[in-house]
Amino acid sequence: MPQRQKESQRANDRPLTKHEQYELSRHLFSLKLRDKESYQVWCTERGFEPGLRKTEPHRRKELQQHRLEMSKIQRARLSKNSRSPDQLLSRVLSGEAEEELLSPEWARVAELSKTLGKKQGSRDAFESLVKLALKKTKLFDATPVIGTYSRGMHNCMLGALASLATYHEVWIRSADQFKPKSKSARKQLGELTRFLLAKYEVPSFMDSVWFKRSRTQGWFIHMGRGQNIRTARRLFVPLTRKMAHCFLGAPGDYTVEQAFRWAQVHGLGGNRRVTEAVYGTRLGREFKNDDFWSTVIRFFIANPMLDTAHYGPIVDYIHHQKFASERIFMGPGRVEETPPPHPGFSMRKRNPERLLRQVEVWHRGLGRVRETGDHAWDSSGIPEFVQVEGRDKKRRWTIQELLSINALRNEGRTMGHCIASYAGSCASGRSSVWTLRLREPEGDQWKEVRHLTIEVRPQDRVIVEARGRFNAYPTPQQMRILQQWTQQENLSLPSYIAG
């Protein structure tokens, strides 16, 4: 083997440095490849050197090849789509179209049609709605609509049409007769749902029910028939007459989940400030044990001078005391589960100042949990994030997953919050916890600062919470980094995260 080839082979055998790993990850992202193995296969198939260390000119050539291939695919896609939309729709619904050549919108139509199975009535209704979207409306769109929902296939205008199609048997008018009055896609959807399903007025926020599969869609039909929301089946929380009245007055840009909290808080005498602070806690994501949590909401309303920034820590503390069974990791493969510390916890005669002291003591104690060895768990599978900034490329932002109890404890101690209480959720896969850090030079040394702790729900890739030191909301700079990560990894970032 020539000397130059031997040196090249030895260079490729060496492990990649962190900087080389970062450059490689950027290159893979540009080529739309997920891992090193797929990259090496891609290179081999196209006659490129399969090594991971490449010069900048080599990478430019690979990018040129990628763009050339993408342009060919785009031309083929345009050619396929140049035929009659009705013909293309027929091919897509029958499964005859080549999905890799479809635009994102047509690919979503193909994906949604599969969820309808062999129900011919639903498939015919979906076909009529897609034709309507193409000819009369702006609803032929696959862009996610509701930020607080997962980026599932139904969270887009086309997904909402598929949801509507499943209720074709109770349509009160034919979709062919619909004529939109508005030019806004969101308003057009509202007009269409009421045209098909409602004889009576339905609040605007109820449009959110069509962007994910849920029993809430039945509530829209129930209200559209003139029925009171109180009599709908399996509500999130029981509503009094006053709450039902407040429910109708919730802001139009809310989701149905937010509207229920709005109704509950206002029905108990609270206001929008309390509602939105409650929605920023775990109570905005779940409605379990609401007979108890309603007493917590009453406590917040009864203490209007309590800073709403404390709501999240208070709710976390109460949940830990009353509902969270503790998982004690005794060693590899050995887990003992104990009941909640205070299952009889009550809000009766609770004093705000005393409760805040108890919350503070609990937070501090999370960093001094009885040491029973460090327990680690598997990664959620979501890739980490790296971004280098500055003229000299020395400012390095990272978002890393925390994968052990000790890592959570250290994060909680440094940031002054209760993230260590999430060990059980992380170990079970219900949650994953991440840390946003900035590493940059300070004099002759490097300094790394933790900026945010982030909770992600892996099942639907939604960022559930992101807080800075002492539960502070993210700054604009931190939100910018967070948004770049969500775009890169297709995560959902609800608007309430920014505070």
Residue at token pair 């993210």: 474
Highest mean pLDDT among 74-88, 125-139, 302-316, 334-348: 125-139
Question: How confident is the model over 101-113, as a mean pLDDT?
Answer: 88
Question: How confident is the model over 175-186, as a mean pLDDT?
Answer: 94
- Degrees, nearest 5: CA angle 132-134-139: 80
Pick from 129-143, 155-169, 194-208, 483-497: least confident: 483-497
Contact 283, 261 (CB under 8 A): yes
Q: How many helices (H) and strands (E) does the chain have?
A: 19, 7
Which contiguous run of DSSP H or E holds residue 483? helix 476-489
Is it the case that residue 370 has pLDDT exceeding 60?
A: no
Question: How confident is the model over 15-41, as a mean pLDDT?
Answer: 81
**Tokens in use for 283?**
């109570």
Partners of 466 in the β-ladder: 454
Nearest to 325 by CA among 423, 411, 187, 212: 423
Is it the case that residue 165 has pLDDT exceeding 50?
A: yes
Q: Where are the domains of the chain?
A: 30-82, 85-227, 241-366, 385-498
Is it the case that residue 12 has pLDDT exceeding 60?
A: no
Highest mean pLDDT among 17-21, 132-136, 409-413: 132-136
The length of the chain in residues reads: 499
Which contiguous run of DSSP H or E holds residue 327? strand 326-331
Comparing 2 with 265, the larger pLDDT belongs to 265
Backbone angles phi, psi at 29, to 5 degrees: -65, -40
Contact 290, 278 (CB under 8 A): no
**Strands, sheet with 385-389, edge to edge from the N-terminal-most edge strand:** 385-389, 395-402, 432-442, 445-457, 462-467
Comparing 367 with 112, the larger pLDDT belongs to 112
Is it the case that residue 246 has pLDDT exceeding 50?
A: yes
Average pLDDT, the chain: 86
Query: What local confidence, expressed as pLDDT, does residue 192 receive?
Result: 97
Query: What local confidence, expressed as pLDDT, does residue 327 receive?
Result: 63
Query: What local confidence, expressed as pLDDT, does residue 334 receive?
Result: 59
Q: At residue 42, what is the residue type?
A: W
Question: How confident is the model over 393-405, as a mean pLDDT?
Answer: 89
Half-sphere exposure of 47 (CA within 13 A, CB side): 2
Pick from 207-216, 318-327, 367-376, 426-435: least confident: 367-376
Pick from 9-18, 39-48, 93-102, 110-119: least confident: 9-18
Is it the case that residue 34 has pLDDT exceeding 70?
A: yes
Pick from 78-82, 128-132, 296-300, 393-397: least confident: 78-82
Is it the case that residue 420 has pLDDT exceeding 80?
A: no
Question: How confident is the model over 42-65, as a mean pLDDT?
Answer: 87
Please, which residues have CB within 8 angstroms of residue 333's CB and are 6 or more apart in sequence? none
- Degrees, nearest 5: CA angle 197-226-222: 55
Question: How confident is the model over 66-78, as a mean pLDDT?
Answer: 70
SS3 call for 114: helix
Pick from 10-14, 94-98, 132-136: least confident: 10-14
Partners of 326 in the β-ladder: 338
d(Cα 192, Cα 198) in Å, to the nearest integer?
Answer: 10
Calculate what percentage of the chain has a pLDDT beyond 90.
47
Is it the case that residue 8 has pLDDT exceeding 60?
A: no
Highest mean pLDDT among 214-218, 360-364, 491-495: 214-218
Query: What local confidence, expressed as pLDDT, does residue 134 receive?
Result: 93
Question: How confident is the model over 264-286, as a mean pLDDT?
Answer: 91
d(Cα 99, Cα 44) in Å, to the nearest integer?
Answer: 25
Pick from 327-336, 355-364, 440-449, 484-493: least confident: 327-336
Is it the case that residue 318 has pLDDT exceeding 90?
A: yes
- For residue 53, the Cα-to-chain-centroid distance in whole angstroms is 35
SS3 call for 312: helix
Is it the case that residue 331 has pLDDT exceeding 80?
A: no
Comparing 314 with 393, the larger pLDDT belongs to 314
Is it the case that residue 94 has pLDDT exceeding 50?
A: yes
Question: How confident is the model over 94-99, as a mean pLDDT?
Answer: 78
